[in-house]
């Protein structure tokens, strides 16, 4: 090998080393930044429940916001749930307005129908638009502040569809 070839060989080796360092470094950086996210996701998904996929297929978890198939509303259960409302509402035939208006005979009434009760302006704004039928009560009781923004009814809502349906069945009996 003449001296030119020797130098040329050394040059090639040095260039190779530089290339390996450069691309290796790139791989290291991207390898540690990009796929990490995906990897973490897979680990978390598997860690939650190894049978998650299987159980979803064989027995889907019921959505509490959807009435189960064949559901029949139960006024007696609704009466139990009304305990959550009693801090503010009366439910008896001779009940009085309290923090909220009385609930006796509320089903089918127009919104804000009691002259002697002082409602929020949000309620007065909805006058003529809302009748307390099944649909309106169902939506209002799910999330009062979402259905009527600005309502002064300080109640977070009944998240279970079955609770709302049972309570409405109970309200219907109060007449
Ligand atoms: C913290 C007190 C409070 C609780 C708890 C509460 N409410 Fe109310 N409710 C109110 C107030 C106050 C109003 C009047 C809202 C307004 O003027 O914005 C109201 C209004 C209503 C109305 C409309 C009445 C009308 O005349 O238009 C219905 C129906 C109602 N509530 C049902 C319920 C039911 C059913 C529950 C239980 C699941 C409940 N509320 C829980 C305070 C409460």
Mean pLDDT by 10 residues, the chain (175 residues): 63 62 54 47 51 60 89 98 98 98 98 98 98 98 98 98 98 97
Give 101 Cα–ligand 1 centroid separation in angstroms.
Answer: 7
Output Rg (C-alpha) for the chain, integer angstroms: 33
- Which pLDDT score is estimated for 59? 74
Q: Ligand 1: does its nearest atom lie under 6 Å from the Cβ of 112?
A: yes
Residue whose CB lies within 8 A of the most ligand 1 atoms, among 86, 144, 153, for a mutation test: 153
Q: In this structure, are residues 144 and 158 in contact, taking their beta carbons and an 8 Å threshold?
A: no
Give 64 Cα–ligand 1 centroid separation in angstroms.
Answer: 22
Give the Cα separation of 4 and 1 in Å (integer): 8
Give 61 Cα–ligand 1 centroid separation in angstroms.
Answer: 31
Q: Ligand 1: does its nearest atom lie under 6 Å from the Cβ of 130?
A: no
Give 27 Cα–ligand 1 centroid separation in angstroms.
Answer: 62
- Which pLDDT score is estimated for 105? 98
- Which pLDDT score is estimated for 162? 97
- Which pLDDT score is estimated for 60? 74
Burial of 166 (0-12, 13-18, 19+ CB in 10 A): buried
- Which pLDDT score is estimated for 26? 54
């Amino acid at each position: 090998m003449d001296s030119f070839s020797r130098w040329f060989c050394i040059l090639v080796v040095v260039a190779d080393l530089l290339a390996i360092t450069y691309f290796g470094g790139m791989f290291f950086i991207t390898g540690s930044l990009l796929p990490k996210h995906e990897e973490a996701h897979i680990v978390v998904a598997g860690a939650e429940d190894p049978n998650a996929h299987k159980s979803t297929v064989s027995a889907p978890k019921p959505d509490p916001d959807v009435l189960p198939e064949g559901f029949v509303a139960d006024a007696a259960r609704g009466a139990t749930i009304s305990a959550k409302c009693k801090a503010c509402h009366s439910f008896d035939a001779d009940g009085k307005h309290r923090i909220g208006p009385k609930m006796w005979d509320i089903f089918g009434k127009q919104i804000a129908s009691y002259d002697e009760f002082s409602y929020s302006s949000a309620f007065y704004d909805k006058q003529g638009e809302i009748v307390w039928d099944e649909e309106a009560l169902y939506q209002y009781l799910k999330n009062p502040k979402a259905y009527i923004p600005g309502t002064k009814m300080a109640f977070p809502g009944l998240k279970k569809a079955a609770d709302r349906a049972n309570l409405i069945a109970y309200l219907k009996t109060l007449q």
